[in-house]
Amino acid sequence: MRSGLRFLSEVSLGLAIATLASVCSFAAEQSPEVPAWLRGHIGEGDGQIAQVVLQRARALYLRKVKEGVVKNPCYLAMDATRPNDLTDGRLGKRFYVICEADRSFRAISAGHGSGRHLRGIADFSNGRECAKNFGNAMDSNLTAGGAYLTGETKTSFKGYYRVSTKQDAALMRSFVQFDGEGETANARQRAIGGHAAVALKGVCLRKDPHSPYANQDGYVPFGSLVDYSGGRSDGCTSWSQSDAGQIIPLLKDNPTTVYIYPESRDVEAVAQAVAAHQPLPRAGLYWNAFCLKQIGSPKFWPKQILEPILAQYRGDHPEPPPQSAPICKGRDFSG
């Protein structure tokens, strides 16, 4: 009997040691030095990650792992200086999912903040291809570079859309909240996070009392599905629907870091170098060469400057009271 107990104790001890070894093995891989397999992905070509972006994203991740905040084996990064909607119809790969534990590196597309054009006051809008303007002001619709941590995931019903002449589908879109630090500390107040680049347009209310999403009067939203993967966002990180379907499950109840380049210091340093006609490599700076040629020079709009401008615009241009969607008309909209 004692030998049996001793055997069980030895087995339990062996399992504990194996588990500890597994954890230590994972921790050992998270060394300050970039592993050789990952260094092979560094570069400024298609599907590669710029060295400064990887260094900062990795440093943020390792810091949060050391603090015990993050246990997720993967971390995320974005290079918002790269192009999004390429001229040949392809989407630029500038968002990165890096999982060092299994040596996986994936580059995908992601949208940047659209910004806004306040006619007669200020223009801080961005085109679809390259982002020129960055900022952290409320209601600016701008991307703010820096450090983020993923938070809770919320999934909400947006409405129904037609997938065939006889079938409709419900659009359920998940949103991953980001929490920032420093200049991005107001990410939650700005409702900054990650989600699929899909929405419903031309929404009307259709009578469908049997739907679990019907309102108290038995109506549900119904519209046309729009995929804006090659477009812009309200400041959030937007992914294609298929990519979002793979990324968001990785983050559910398992937070990790997101580093977005450029920060305000990068924008300002590059703008100064451009004004001085100084080559960026010589100044030790980085910006995607194609986009820098397109935008001329970037600009960062700090909230201390932009939020008073936005407040003035809201005062001069009050929004009309919200109106409910119209009732759908025609037999094609019948439930």
Name the region of 44 (left: φ>0; alpha: ψ -120 to 50; beta: rest).
Answer: alpha
Residue 100, CA distances (Å) to 29, 30, 250 in order? 7, 8, 14
What is the per-residue pLDDT for 27? 42
Tokens for 106? 């994936």
Q: What is the DSSP string of 31-44?
A: -SSPPHHHHTTBSS
Taken in order 29, 33, 34, 39, the sign of the CA dihedral is negative
- pTM assigned to the model: 0.88
Q: What number of residues does the chain have?
A: 335
Nearest one of 131, 100, 72, 66 to 258, comparing CA atoms: 72
| Neighbour count for residue 189 (Cβ, 10 Å) | 9
End-to-end Cα distance, the chain? 71
Ordered per-residue pLDDT tens for the chain, 335 residues = 444 434 333 333 333 333 333 333 444 445 679 999 999 999 999 999 999 999 999 999 999 999 999 999 999 999 999 999 887 778 999 999 999 999 999 999 999 999 999 998 999 999 999 999 999 999 999 999 999 999 999 999 999 999 998 899 999 999 999 999 999 999 999 999 999 999 999 999 999 999 999 999 999 999 999 998 888 888 999 999 999 999 999 999 999 999 999 999 999 999 999 999 999 999 999 999 999 999 999 999 999 999 999 999 999 888 888 888 999 987 555 55
- Beta pairing partners, 223: 161
**If you ran DSSP here, which 8-state letter would residue 138 be given?**
T
Distance from C-alpha of 24 to C-alpha of 27, rounded to nearest angstrom: 5
Distance from C-alpha of 265 to C-alpha of 259, rounded to nearest angstrom: 15
**If you ran DSSP here, which 8-state letter would residue 75 be given?**
E
Q: Residue 59 class from Cβ within 10 Å (0-12 exposed, 13-18 middle, 19+ buried)?
A: middle
Distance from C-alpha of 178 to C-alpha of 320, rounded to nearest angstrom: 30
Peptide linkage before 262 cis (omega within 30 of 0): yes
Give Cα 103 distance to the centre of its chain.
22
| Fold topology of 29-333 | L,D-transpeptidase catalytic domain-like (2.40.440)
Nearest one of 263, 268, 48, 58 to 143, comparing CA atoms: 263
What is the per-residue pLDDT for 22? 38
Place of tokens 């440093």: 59
Residue 133 CB partners (closer than 8 Å, separation 6+)? 115, 124, 125, 126, 142, 298, 299, 300, 301
Question: Which SS3 state, helix, strand or coil, does residue 103 take?
Answer: coil
Residue 153 phi, psi dihedral angles, 5° rounding: -110, 130
Question: Which SS3 state, helix, strand or coil, does residue 202 take?
Answer: strand
Tokens for 166? 């006889």
Q: Residue 14 class from Cβ within 10 Å (0-12 exposed, 13-18 middle, 19+ buried)?
A: exposed
